[in-house]
Structure 1
Amino acid sequence: MQKLPILAALTALALGQPALAQDAPPTRTAVVDHRDLDLSTDKGARALDRRIWRAVVEVCGTAPDYDLEGKNQVRECRRDTRRLAAADAELAIAEAKQGQPIRVTTRAK
């Protein structure tokens, strides 16, 4: 089996910005390794989903409770980043291959 790279860019932050905008936030990436998982099983797929969620939380960060706008941005980041990573994970599960590590990426604020 071979690993599949999963690159999940936060589209919500990039909307409306030119591709080469100088003030674009930096990209943050977490690597999700799944070489030890059998993605052809439900157990392996669930384990991959948990790992992706931890990576999403890592790249999107947190906001203090008093920062409602920040909390909403984190929630949006997590939703969008997970959606993109899950689409690539589904491909990896469908192909049940291992190769490159999965990368969960978003743009930092």
Structure 2
Amino acid sequence: MKTLLILAMLAATVPGQPALAQDVATPAPAANVVIVTHSDLDLRNQRDARTLDRRIWRAVVDVCGATSDFDLKGKNAIRECRRDTRAIAAAQADLAIADATRERAIQVSSVQK
């Protein structure tokens, strides 16, 4: 039976055509990264610091993605990704707020692969 499945799979592929059709010149997709800018904010005041925090949260949600409400394992993975990614981004934001005289963009990227 295993031999039949292997033969059927081999017959399904067309000779001379790669099994995974992929253009060699197509670059690999980049990692999930969102750049959060804050050059328009005065991070010395609390209101703008909260605005930065909201921007970071939206970027974290974009980077980590979403899953179905019925996928509990996926929901837990998303929750973990958001927690870890937000912690890293918050550390960068704290540095930017502490050094409010310099303009630095904050890079938010998923810690999961």
Same fold by TM-score, threshold 0.5 exceeded?
yes
Q: Gaps spanning 5+ residues in structure 2: where?
A: 1-29
Write the letter of the residue equivalent to 2:66.
Answer: T
* TM-score under structure 2 length normalisation: 0.69
The residue aligned with 2:7 is none
Q: Which fold has the larger relative contact order, with Cα–Cα distance below 8 Å and residues 6 or more apart in sequence?
A: 1
1:50 partnered with 2:48: no
Q: Gaps spanning 5+ residues in structure 1: where?
A: 1-25
Which moves more between the two structures, 93-102 or 52-61?
A: 93-102
The answer on whether the counterparts of 1:28 and 1:106 sit within 8 Å (CA) in structure 2 is yes
1:66 partnered with 2:65: no
Aligned residues: 84
* TM-score under structure 1 length normalisation: 0.71
The residue aligned with 2:101 is 97
Give percent identity, aligned residues only: 56
> Residues 35-63 of structure 1: CA distance to partner in whole angstroms, max 9, x if unpaired?
11000000111000000000000000001
CA-atom RMSD, angstroms? 1.5
- 1: CA distance, partners of 2:31 / 2:112: 6
> Residues 1-56 of structure 1: CA distance to partner in whole angstroms, max 9, x if unpaired?
xxxxxxxxxxxxxxxxxxxxxxxxx6210011111100000011100000000000
